[in-house]
Amino acid sequence: MRGYARAIRYRYSPRIIREGLVLWLPLWNSELSESTFKSKDDYHQSCVVTDATWGIYGRTFNGSSAFIACGDTPSVTDNVSVCAWIYAADYSGNYLIVVGGDDDNAPFQLRTNSTNKKIEFCINAGGNRAIGATALVNGTWNFVCGTFDKALASNEIKLYLNGNATPDGQASHNTSISTTDSLYIGKRDNEKYWSGRISEVLIYNRTLSLVEIIHNYNATKFRYA
């Protein structure tokens, strides 16, 4: 009965924003359950899975060797939005969720901070980052979203948590992004492996508005209630 109720809620829930969507990985989808698959956006990017096991709530990453490689990072320059549904039994590790490269100078990184259980969104290097104000609660699902808009006069980097109207963190950085590296889910530099689940990943080549972020949160949250 519970599965039927979830199916009905899914059928009638609003759809995610598609404009500017350059990567969509609904990792809970059985069509993405194999060791190789293509993203569900219009670009059908090829992804290869290493040690991340599939389940109805997404992929489980073991914290030591599991990751997903999705080829070249989608082309973005002055605007980007990176969002994901994540779960960890313990958020105290310094873990990578989504990274557009394989070192600390990657064009963007969505990650957790090892000392305070907070989300960070970095642009061009780890030092250019917005740090969330809210410590994540162990054993809970969270919808995290980082945005970058070079056209703003300040606070170009913003972080949003669970569809809240107020940014959870923001920072200033005014240099364009150059995306020439590979895209990874769950690791960087063969280190900082994610330990927990990642269920949905969305990357846009533009800056989502607050209304759009809230829409995507509401369109997907039923799965994690």
CA contacts within 13 A on the Cβ side of 54: 16
What's the whole-model pTM score?
0.92
- Classify each residue of 89-99 as buried b or exposed e, where b means 16 or more C-beta atoms within 10 Å of its C-beta: eebbbebbbbb
**For the purposes of burial, counting CB atoms within 10 Å of the CB of 11, is it exposed (0-12), middle (13-18) or buried (19 or more)?**
exposed
Distance separating alpha carbons of residues 150 and 181, to the nearest angstrom? 20
Q: Tell me which of 81 and 180 has the higher pLDDT.
A: 81
C-alpha 180/C-alpha 94 separation (Å) is 24
Mean pLDDT score, 185-209:
94
Q: What is the C-alpha separation between 97 and 119, in angstroms, rounded?
A: 10
- 34 exposed, middle or buried (CB, 10 Å; 0-12, 13-18, 19+)? exposed
**CA dist., res. 174 & res. 131, Å (int):** 17
pLDDT in tens, 102-141: 777 888 999 998 778 999 999 987 789 999 999 999 999 9
Phi, psi (degrees; rounded to nearest 5) at 176: -60, 155
The per-residue pLDDT for 214 is 97
Question: What beta strand segments (E) does the chain contain?
Answer: 21-26, 36-38, 46-50, 53-55, 58-62, 67-72, 79-88, 96-99, 108-112, 119-123, 129-131, 140-149, 157-161, 169-171, 182-185, 195-204
**What pLDDT score does 93 carry?**
78
Q: What is the pLDDT of residue 103?
A: 76
Count up the domains in the chain and report the number.
1
Task: For residue 27, report the phi and psi dihedrals to the nearest 5 degrees.
Answer: -70, -10
**CATH assignment at residue 97:** 2.60.120.200
Q: For 24-74, how does the pLDDT look when each residue is reduced to its tens digit (9 = 90+)?
A: 999 999 999 999 999 999 999 999 999 999 999 999 999 999 999 999 888
Q: Which whole number is the average pLDDT over 182-205?
A: 93
Q: Which of 22, 29, 26 is nearest to 45 (CA)?
A: 22
Domain span at residue 158?
Answer: 2-224
Question: Would the pLDDT of 11 be above 60?
Answer: no
pLDDT value of position 9: 41
pLDDT, tens digit (0-9, with 9 covering 90-100), for 147-157: 999 999 899 99
